[in-house]
Amino acid sequence: MIDAEHGEAAMRDMASRLLAQRDSGDVRPAVGRAVAPPVSQRGQRHKFADHPLVAAACELNARRRAIWELTGMPSPLFLERKGYNSAVLQAQGQELTNFAGYNYLGLAHHPKVVRAVQDAVAQFGASASNSRITSGEIELYPRLEQRLARIYDVEAAIIATSGFLTNAGVLGYLLGEGDAAICDSLIHASVVAGARWAGARVMTFRHNDPESLRGILRASRDRFYRVLVVIEGLYSMDGDIGLLPEIAAVAREFDCGVMVDEAHSIGVLGAHGHGVREHFGLPGDAVDIWMGSLSKALGSCGGFIAGNANLIEALNTAPAMLLTVGFPPTAAAAALTALEVLESEPERVRRLWQNTELFTSALRDRDLDLGMSQNTPICPVLIPSVARVVFASSLLLQRGVYVGPVTAPAVAPGQERLRFFITSEHSEGQLTAAAELVAEVVEIARKLDPTIPV
Ligand SMILES: Cc1ncc(COP(=O)(O)O)c(C=O)c1O
CB 8 within 8 A of CB 444: yes
> What are the structural domain ranges in the chain?
67-109+346-453, 129-327
Backbone conformation region of residue 276, classed left if phi is above 0, alpha if psi is from -120 to 50, else beta: alpha
- For residue 294, the ligand 1 atom closest to its alpha carbon is 10
DSSP one-letter string for 46-60: T--TT-HHHHHHHHH
Mean pLDDT by 10 residues, the chain (454 residues): 56 65 52 52 71 85 79 89 96 95 98 98 97 95 98 98 97 97 97 96 98 98 98 98 98 98 98 98 98 98 98 95 95 98 98 98 97 97 92 94 93 95 98 98 89 73
DSSP 3-state assignment of 303?
strand
Output helix, strand, coil percentages for the chain, rounded to the nearest 5: 45, 15, 40
DSSP 3-state assignment of 175?
coil
Task: Measure 450 CA to ligand 1 centroid, in angstroms.
Answer: 30
Task: Measure 268 CA to ligand 1 centroid, in angstroms.
Answer: 15
Task: Measure 25 CA to ligand 1 centroid, in angstroms.
Answer: 38
Q: Are β-strands 156-160 and 180-184 bridged in parallel, bridged antiparallel, or unpaired?
A: unpaired
The pLDDT value recorded for residue 32 is: 43
Helices (H), 72-202: 111-124, 140-152, 163-174, 189-198
Q: Report DSSP state, residue 136.
A: I
Chain Cα centroid distance, residue 229: 20
CB 252 within 8 A of CB 244: no
- The size of the chain, in residues, is 454
409 upstream amide cis, omega within 30 of 0 = yes
Listed in sequence order, the residues at least 6 apart from 25 whose beta carbon sits closer than 8 Å to its beta carbon are none
Q: Is 67-109+346-453 assigned to CATH 3.90.1150.10?
A: yes
Which of the listed CATH numbers 3.40.640.10, 3.50.30.20, 3.20.20.220, 2.160.10.10 matches domain 129-327? 3.40.640.10
The pLDDT value recorded for residue 49 is: 83
State residue 184 phi and psi, 5-degree precision.
-60, 145
Angle, CA 88 vertex, CA 83 and CA 91 arms, to 5° = 55
Task: Measure 163 CA to ligand 1 centroid, in angstroms.
Answer: 5
67-109+346-453 and 129-327 share one CATH topology?
no
Q: How many angstroms separate the CA atoms of 440 and 141, rounded?
A: 48
Query: Whose Cα sits closest to atom 10 in ligand 1?
Result: 163
Segment holding 290, helix H or strand E: strand 289-293
0.85 exceeded by the pTM? yes
Task: Measure 330 CA to ligand 1 centroid, in angstroms.
Answer: 20
HSE-CB at 98 with a 13 A cutoff on CA atoms is 25
The pLDDT value recorded for residue 195 is: 97
b/e per residue 15-54 (b: at least 16 CB within 10 A)? beebeebeeeeebeeeeeeeeeeeeeeeeeeeeeeeeeee
Within 6 A (CB) of ligand 1 lie 162-164, 167, 188, 190, 232, 236, 261, 263-264, 293, 295, 303
Task: Measure 28 CA to ligand 1 centroid, in angstroms.
Answer: 32
Q: How many angstroms separate the CA atoms of 275 and 260, rounded?
A: 10
Segment holding 379, helix H or strand E: strand 378-382
Mutate to test the pocket of ligand 1, among 103, 192, 230, 236 (most ligand atoms within 8 A of CB): 236
Of 171, 176, 173, 189, which is closest to residue 232 (Cα–Cα)?
A: 189
Q: How far is residue 146 from each of residues 139, 171, 278, measured CA to CA in Å?
A: 11, 22, 17
Which contacts qualify for 122-128: CB closer than 8 Å, 24 or more apart? 123/329, 124/329, 125/329, 126/328, 126/329, 126/330, 127/325, 127/328, 127/329, 128/325, 128/326, 128/327, 128/328, 128/329
DSSP one-letter string for 25-91: T-SPPPP----PPPGGGTT-TT--TT-HHHHHHHHHHHHHHHHHHHH-PPP-TT--EES-SSSEEEE
The pLDDT value recorded for residue 224 is: 98
Segment holding 255, helix H or strand E: none
